[in-house]
Structure 1
Amino acid sequence: MQLPTRPDPQSYADWTWVACPIALPPTIPANAVLHLPTLRIRQGEVRADLAYTHPVPKTQRTGHTVALGVDWGLNTLLSAGATRLHDDGRITTLGSGGMFRACGVLARQHRLRRQGESLHTKADQYDRLISGAERHALTDKCQVLIDEIRRVSTRRSNLNDALSWSAARWAVDQAIAAGATVIYVEDLRSMEARGMGQGHNTRMSQAVRGQIVDRMRHLSAEAGIAVVTVPARNTSKHCPQCLVPLRHRKAPDRPTVPGWKWALCRSCGWQGDRDQGAWRRIAARGLTHQAKTVMDRTSGAMVIRNVVDKLEAQAVITPKTSRDRSRTGPTKAACPTPRRRRTPSPAQAGQRPEGHAHTDRTRLPRAALRNQGVTTISSHRPRGAVLGAGFHLHAHASPPRWEHVPDTRPDYVSPS
């Protein structure tokens, strides 16, 4: 490159050619076409922004057999899983799917939003008190608040950018690992639901969903994977296997927390997380409606605008059949008897025969809690002294006294 030799170059003689070797990172493909770099100075160092172009596979609108369905959530930002379309029209899942949780980032984002709202409120109050005065005691304080608002906005922007890139990279990696050629995502415009309250729409708007989809299209284009948006109607409401409305209840792992995350189908018996059923519905709807995929003239993205009832009836997930465990065929050889049930060794002189109880036990295990009862929930089956201090391995408690109390009341005699 040609750089000046003096601070105020006047002619061509004041410029000279300088060679700056640049080591290309391994992320740049070998067949990439490099473009003219841009130099910038940052923290006393000269850095080069090098743009490059390389060919990528062309994405297709139809002909997909393996697809990745992506569902949006509130606390669980993304839920995704892969499905396969067979030649006979059946749709099956490839694995149980995964979730992209960003609770910590979303909580920090929510705190920054509340901090920004508080600063805006104070700044507006100072503006009303100043009311256009040239010299006021609150002018400097108001300027401090404006600078702080700018810093908070920058932090929120950087956080949203990092979150969108991370979520998009995760979704594209899931599609590449499953061998999918298309990613079906819920239509973002239909998620701005009417009638769900201001709080719901505010939380959903903070999820930077638009940025995630844009980054997802950018990253998936390099691998030749198409990104198509599908309508989000009834994706979480209907069963993915029989399209019957689901019943939502408390999750089995959180019986004391009220909620609607767990879904249960009374018709086919399917049950699972609400978001896990939603990505199945999204992927199945996209595979059956892929002939309806069109290009949006405004954004140039692939979309499926409408849902056809005839095709929607075919968008069901076929459950995988379990392995045949019948005894009709050949079975494995019988397993050896466990050590505790083998035949006792014969008795020797001066010793008693070996039984099922351990004879090498020096002392009984001490109970964990003195008040521990038989209803105690544990990861193992309690035995022996674990049920209570002082009990022998083979001892049983006698029945309570009140269970066999004789009836000493006299027979009832009718007065007649």
Structure 2
Amino acid sequence: MNTLLSAGAARLHDDGRITPLGAGGMFRACGVLAKQHRLRRLSEDLHAKADRYQRLIDGDAGHPLAGRREVLAQEIRHVCDRRSNLNDSLAWAAARWAVDQAVAASATVIYVEDLRSMEALGMGRTHNTRMSQTVRGQIVDRMRHLAAETGIAVVTVPARNTSKHCPRCLTPLRHRKAPDRPTKPGWKWAVCGSCGYQGDRDAGAWKRIAARGFTHQAKTVVDRASGAMVIRSVVDELEAAAVVTPTAKTSRKDRSKTGPTRRHAARPTPRRRRTPSPARPQGPAGKRPEGHAHTARTRLPRAAHRDQDVTTISTPTTRHRPRGAALGAGFHLHTHATPPHWAEPEPDTTTRIGSLS
């Protein structure tokens, strides 16, 4: 459910060697596939309930459950339409991704595994139905349509043992849960005990598919019914040569210079400042230009309405006026306080009063 497609590029050399080009890629659609899985389970539950109602009705048109059976039929059609639209969109997206990978690698042919041979025998009708209804069957048809526009051929090859055998020596692989759990059985990580190869199960599968397609080119035929190019069977003699040779790694000891050494700054620019900021517009608006923020102290706010008290510092008498000595700048910043009422002498009411006589 995590990986919908795994693909990679390989090259067939004149001497018959097959080498991979890069590590390949994977097309993941976890969210869409989870939604598809929920819709499939919902459709199965609705079909099971509808079949139960049909058995209870037993051909009686006036049965009380006939109305419920009709409502369930409409809901089943609605869920099926949603599943069809979702599968169609996902198939087109996956096919476009695969064709784009082939165009980027300058490929001339795309080899895909034949999914009709992947039905699990003996697992029951329900499991085989789920395998046939998967969106992977639609991807190949969309891929043929898109690849024809670019002149790339699409050939299907048998999918037998593509994930079982090692792509380098064709030895059966041991599958483990993860690369850091070499003793935990699983299916995701493949380890070869003969040549030492290890890698993702899907990565080894696309290498086996490419090698099988290259070695069986002479067995390619055109299907009369569908008109598609297919390789129907695997020949043991050719399959023995369908191995992928790892690309030679470049030596790190060769330090011969091919040009002048690029000058490096003594103090490289931090990563967050390597990309220049946009030009500042002509005006007060816009983003701050590139560089550090200004660290100087800002002007102190004026607070003339702030409550004052007698304990504040008095007004300086000298010419020197410290910063923030403006009127009402705040406590301990040379603010001016109003004298209290008890500091002012009360007026003498007996002054200027003449004799009563």
Structure 1 length-normalised TM: 0.58
Mapping of 1:379-394 within 5 angstroms? none
Q: Which whole-Å deviations, capped at 9, do the CAs of 1:160-211 have from their partners, x for residues lacking one?
A: 1111111111111111111111010111221113246667545533422221
Q: How many Å separate the matches in 2 of 1:123 and 1:107?
A: 24
Report the secondary structure of 2:193's partner residue: coil
Q: Output the amino acid matched with 1:239.
A: C
- Between Structure 1 and Structure 2, whose CA radius of gyration is higher? 2
Match of 1:325 among 235, 245, 252: 252
Match of 1:132 among 38, 59, 84: 59
Match of 2:44 among 117, 121, 130: 117
Q: How many Å separate the matches in 1 of 2:98 and 2:223?
A: 22
Does residue 1:227 correspond to 2:161, yes or no? no
**Residue 220 of structure 1: how far off its partner (Å):** 0.5
Check 1:146–1:325 CA distance in 2 against 1; reply closer, same or farther (3 A cut). Answer: closer
Aligned match of 1:218: 145
Does residue 1:155 correspond to 2:82, yes or no? yes
Match of 1:284 among 191, 194, 211: 211
Check 1:203–1:241 CA distance in 2 against 1; reply closer, same or farther (3 A cut). Answer: same
Q: How many Å separate the matches in 1 of 2:91 and 2:84?
A: 11
Percent identical among aligned pairs is 75
Q: How many Å separate the matches in 2 of 1:179 and 1:328?
A: 32
Mapping of 1:299-378 within 5 angstroms? 299-326=226-253
Report the secondary structure of 2:36's partner residue: helix
**Residue 109 of structure 1: how far off its partner (Å):** 1.5
Structure 1, 81-90 or 309-318: larger mean CA deviation: 309-318
Instruction: Tell whether the 8 Å contact from 2:176 to 2:184 is kept in structure 1 after alignment.
Output: no
Q: How many Å separate the matches in 2 of 1:328 and 1:135?
A: 89
Q: How many Å separate the matches in 1 of 2:68 and 2:58?
A: 14
Q: How many Å separate the matches in 1 of 2:254 and 2:98?
A: 43
Instruction: Tell whether the 8 Å contact from 1:83 to 1:283 is kept in structure 2 after alignment.
Output: yes
Q: Output the amino acid matched with 2:25.
A: G
Q: How many Å separate the matches in 2 of 1:199 and 1:123?
A: 17
Q: How many Å separate the matches in 1 of 2:123 and 2:46?
A: 28
Report the secondary structure of 1:236's partner residue: coil
Q: How many Å separate the matches in 2 of 1:134 and 1:318?
A: 69
Does residue 1:187 correspond to 2:114, yes or no? yes
Instruction: Tell whether the 8 Å contact from 2:188 to 2:201 is kept in structure 1 after alignment.
Output: yes
**Residue 132 of structure 1: how far off its partner (Å):** 3.2
Does residue 1:247 correspond to 2:170, yes or no? no
Q: Output the amino acid matched with 1:77.
A: L
Aligned match of 1:141: 68
Q: Output the amino acid matched with 2:233.
A: N
**Residue 307 of structure 1: how far off its partner (Å):** 1.7
Q: How many Å separate the matches in 2 of 1:165 and 1:184?
A: 18
Q: How many Å separate the matches in 2 of 1:259 and 1:218?
A: 36
Instruction: Tell whether the 8 Å contact from 1:106 to 1:207 is kept in structure 2 after alignment.
Output: no
Q: Which ranges of structure 1 fall in alignment gaps of 5 or more residues?
A: 1-73, 340-416
**Residue 265 of structure 1: how far off its partner (Å):** 1.3
**Residue 137 of structure 1: how far off its partner (Å):** 3.0
Instruction: Tell whether the 8 Å contact from 1:77 to 1:207 is kept in structure 2 after alignment.
Output: no
Match of 2:97 among 138, 163, 170: 170
Q: How many equivalent residue pairs? A: 264
Q: How many Å separate the matches in 2 of 1:327 and 1:100?
A: 37
Match of 2:191 among 244, 250, 264: 264
RMSD: 2.9
Check 1:112–1:89 CA distance in 2 against 1; reply closer, same or farther (3 A cut). Answer: same
